[in-house]
Amino acid sequence: MRLLPAVVAVFLAVGVAYYVYVPMPDGIKEPWKLMLADAGFRTIMQVTSLKNRLGLDYYINPLLPYAEGFVGMVSRLLSSESGGGAVPGVKVSDVTFAGIPVRVYEPPAGGEGHLRRGVMYFHGGGWAFGSAKMGMHDVITRMISDELNAVVVSVDYRLYPEVLFPVPYLECLAAAKHFLTREVLAKYAIDPERVAVSGDSAGGNLAAAVAQEISTDDDASVKFSVQALIYPVLQALDFNTPSYLQNKDVPVLYRPLMVRLWLQYLGIDLSLMPQFLANNHSSLEQSLITPELRSRVDWTSLLPPKHRKNYEPLVVEKGLRGLVKERPGLLDVRAAPLLAGPEVLAKCPRAYVITCEYDVLKDDGLMYTRRLQDAGVAVTNDHYEDGFHGCLGFITWPMDFDVGRRAVRGYLNWLHNNL
Catalytic site positions: 201, 359, 389
Report which DSSP code applies to 135.
Answer: H
* CA nearest neighbour of 48 among 31, 32, 72, 66: 66
The neighbour count for residue 269, using CB atoms within 10 Å, is 9
Question: Which residues, at least 6 apart from 47, have a Cβ–Cβ distance to it below 8 Å?
Answer: 60, 63, 64, 67
* C-alpha to C-alpha distance for 328 and 245, rounded to whole angstroms: 26
Question: Which residues, at least 6 apart from 218, have a Cβ–Cβ distance to it below 8 Å?
Answer: none
* C-alpha to C-alpha distance for 160 and 254, rounded to whole angstroms: 19
What one-letter code names the amino acid at 36? L
Which parts of 216-254 fold into alpha helices (H)?
242-246
* C-alpha to C-alpha distance for 166 and 172, rounded to whole angstroms: 10
DSSP assignment of 320-337 equals STTHHHH-GGGG-TTT-G
